[in-house]
Amino acid sequence: MARSISYVTGSQLLSLKRRPNIAIIDVRDEERSYDGHIAGSLHYASDSFSDKISNLIREVNGKDTLVFHCALSQVRGPTCARKLVNYLKDVKDDAGIKNVLVLERGFNGWEASGHPVCRCNMKPCKGESTSAEVA
């Protein structure tokens, strides 16, 4: 059961991303629409996160590792990760989620390290293979 939250670096996330059982949860608010995003990440804005938490759990059905991030992963990312852990604890069902992680330095750190940024307008983002990228 996921009970504690650990941090991963961008490089660690790059290798984790190759696994099919991982979901990346972007909890930034409106910045996502103009700053780009990590390919394949799901968008659950922090301002409505608590209301959408059951949708999120349905959407990540079958994934055992969730990686949260916001712009810097200092406030919104860890707060939403904590909300999810507490929610799972309250409903006494871990929904198969074993690891709850937070991306160190958030999206801004990811981009600053030169990791790939997706600028598609698809909801949800289909990942790296999209050919409909809009610069």
Nearest alpha carbon to residue 57 among 3, 8, 94: 94
Kindly tell me which of 56 and 120 has the beta carbon lying closer to Zn ion: 120
17-46: contacts with Zn ion (CB under 5 A): none
Cβ neighbors of 36 (< 8 A, separation 6 or more) are 111, 117, 118, 119
Rounded Cα gap, residues 36 and 57, in angstroms: 24
Kindly tell me which of 2 and 37 has the beta carbon lying closer to Zn ion: 37
89-118: contacts with Zn ion (CB under 5 A): 118
Q: Does 120 bind Zn ion (CB under 5 A)?
A: yes
Q: Does 60 bind Zn ion (CB under 5 A)?
A: no
SS3 content of the chain, % helix, strand, coil (to 5): 35, 15, 45
Choices 8-16, 66-74, 81-89, 119-127 (CB under 5 A): range interacting with Zn ion: 119-127
Binding site for Zn ion (CB under 5 A): 118, 120, 125
